[in-house]
Chain A
């Protein structure tokens, strides 16, 4: 069964450092998303991406965040200068656009020290 894959599964970084979280969406999917979940909190929408551009972004997705599809398979989330409050599980998701069903990857646990 096709799945969304994310790497790394865990990332530890120092405050102020840049991190790049990587995702390989399901191959025939056209819509890509990043969500995050702070421990014990709700899953929160960050950004959606379609046709090589951002479709929508939340208030959380400020200037320190960026997304990119550098090639035909990868989808990345970059956090330029990490803060303690960026510590969370980051989920990538994709959909094929025929309905609104999202398929989530297994997540990257980001810990900012």
Chain B
């Protein structure tokens, strides 16, 4: 059973701080990794995708991937109260996993305090 694990939180950070969200995955063959944001009662919204080892930056967000450690992280700089949401890590199953068959973690709930 392929698994994606995340600390459920809640992770509480003050406004303006860096929030660090972590994810591990069990399928060593996975090649595609995503971070989604989900507000309570709403649908997942894609924030970042990452496919290669290292860092990928987009505005206040940085995704980090380490395939050897099977570890993905998301850093949110200058956190804002509007960033308060559940952050979902998602992985496409490797070695034959088809496009769109995302395996989601349970999510980490982030709370940014003003």
Contact = CB atoms under 8 A, between A and B. Distances in A.
Interface residues of B, number: 21
Interface residues of A, number: 25
5 contacts: A48-B98, A95-B100, A100-B92, A100-B99, A102-B100
B13 interface: no
A18 to B, nearest CB: 24
A44 B101 contact: no
B104 A107 contact: no
Interface in B92-108: 92, 98-107
A65 interface: no
Contacts of B92: 100
Nearest to B44: A104
A56 B104 contact: no
B91 to A, nearest CB: 11
A103 B34 CA distance: 12
Contacts of A33: 100
Interface in A1-46: 31, 33, 35, 41-45
Contacts of A55: 98, 100
B65 interface: no
Contact of B43 (A45, A58, A91, A101): A91
